[in-house]
């Protein structure tokens, strides 16, 4: 009879959206500012903090073995060599995550923010997708669908626009945004050429890769001899040069390009995007050094090269159409810093006893 009663209580707890099936799990761990922190949000913040630590694990550390990994030491800053014990790092990151959540909700309310029904629907839909994809793992860590919905709605709060947009609290002027677009970002049109035969999947060896890159560079250089003025003309010249060169490039691996191989894609890259997109040594700097209208071929990755032309973003597109991405690149870091600082300064009324009932040692880090 006792076992049946416990099972019934657990079932009721799940039905009303509580986290986990433990009688000792509290409803809330307290407040930060005026924002209540339900246990589900605490567990999600802790789980995310653990994943951040896991990403810093060395090759000989196994983050799926939670108890032992929490006792390990990780390097948290490669530049300075700073290290931390994982348990301390997770505790600090958990608090920072909670402070960020509370700050976002508080600032959103202060600025009069209201999610539209469409924004709520999109956030809830994405939360449902996350639960469908990783539901077993979330449930094992006491994280329910309601918690994910709340988190996705927090992420949907468009504080960037409310703080720095045209009608924002401290708006960025068109002149500032234009300067950032032209000086700090790179707008490119490009094609990616695989370094393998697309029919047989035979990879190019070093000599073949070098030959393909040389042919691609010759095609790019042909655009730089007399590049026409204007993004449209530059794109046309680049597209023609690429289409003419691709058959010879693919032939190195006894292949031939598909009918859409020369179709151009477009990307507007900020400084961080450039570094992550072009991870091969020296490639990011080479792309940055291009002037509008200049084309180049670069090693994109171990399995592909890229032929690209840099364009003046405001010749190729309008400021309004690029505004959101440029504003994000320009101000996202500043916004994140201000949110973290704001959250840390809010009054904290967290219940340490409640949090101790949900220790990081209980995290499940494998499906």
What is the tens place of the pLDDT at every residue in 192-249?
999 999 999 999 999 999 999 999 999 999 988 766 777 888 889 999 999 999 999 9
Whole-structure pTM over 0.85, yes or no? no
Could you give the CA distance from residue 341 to residue 200 in angstroms, rounded to a whole number? 54
Residue from 247, 250, 304 nearest 278 by CA: 304
* 78 alpha carbon, distance to own chain's centre: 20
What pLDDT is recorded for position 38? 96
State the DSSP H helix or E strand holding residue 68, giving kind and residue range, or none if neither: helix 66-70
> Look-up: residue for tokens 């009932």?
357
What pLDDT is recorded for position 129? 96
CB 264 within 8 A of CB 239: yes
Q: Please write the tens of the pLDDT for every residue from 272-295.
A: 889 888 878 889 999 999 999 999
State the DSSP H helix or E strand holding residue 75, giving kind and residue range, or none if neither: strand 73-77
State which residues of the chain have pLDDT below 50.
1-23
What pLDDT is recorded for position 24? 64
């Amino acid at each position: 009879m006792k076992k049946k009663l416990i099972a019934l209580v657990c079932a009721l707890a799940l039905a009303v959206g509580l986290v986990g099936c433990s009688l000792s799990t509290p409803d809330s761990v307290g407040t930060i500012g005026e924002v209540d922190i339900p246990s589900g949000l605490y567990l999600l913040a802790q789980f995310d903090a653990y994943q951040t630590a896991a990403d810093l694990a060395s090759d000989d550390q196994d983050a799926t073995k939670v108890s032992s990994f929490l006792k390990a030491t990780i390097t948290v800053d490669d530049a300075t060599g700073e290290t931390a014990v994982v348990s301390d790092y997770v505790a600090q990151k958990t608090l920072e995550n909670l402070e960020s959540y509370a700050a976002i909700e508080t600032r959103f309310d202060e600025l009069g923010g209201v999610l539209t029904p469409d924004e709520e629907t999109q956030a809830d839909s994405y939360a449902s997708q996350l639960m469908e994809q990783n539901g077993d793992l979330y449930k094992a860590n006491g994280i329910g669908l309601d918690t994910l919905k709340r988190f996705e709605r927090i992420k949907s709060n468009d504080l960037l626009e409310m703080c720095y947009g045209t009608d924002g609290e401290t708006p960025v002027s068109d002149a500032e945004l234009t300067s950032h677009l032209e000086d700090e970002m790179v707008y490119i049109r490009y094609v990616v050429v695989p370094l393998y035969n697309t029919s047989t999947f035979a990879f190019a060896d070093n000599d073949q890769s070098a030959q393909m890159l040389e042919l691609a560079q010759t095609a790019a250089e042909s655009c730089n001899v007399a590049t026409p003025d204007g993004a449209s003309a530059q794109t046309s010249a680049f597209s023609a040069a690429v289409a003419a060169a691709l058959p010879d490039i693919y032939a190195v691996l006894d292949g031939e390009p598909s009918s859409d191989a020369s179709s151009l894609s477009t990307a507007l890259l900020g400084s961080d995007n450039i570094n992550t997109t072009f991870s091969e040594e020296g490639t990011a700097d080479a792309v940055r050094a291009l002037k509008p209208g200049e084309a180049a071929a670069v090693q994109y990755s171990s399995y592909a090269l890229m032929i690209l032309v840099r364009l003046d973003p405001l010749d190729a597109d309008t400021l309004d159409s690029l505004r959101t991405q440029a504003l994000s690149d320009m101000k996202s870091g500043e916004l994140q810093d201000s949110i973290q600082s704001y959250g840390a300064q809010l009054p904290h009324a967290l219940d340490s006893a409640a949090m101790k009932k949900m220790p990081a040692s209980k995290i499940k880090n494998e499906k």
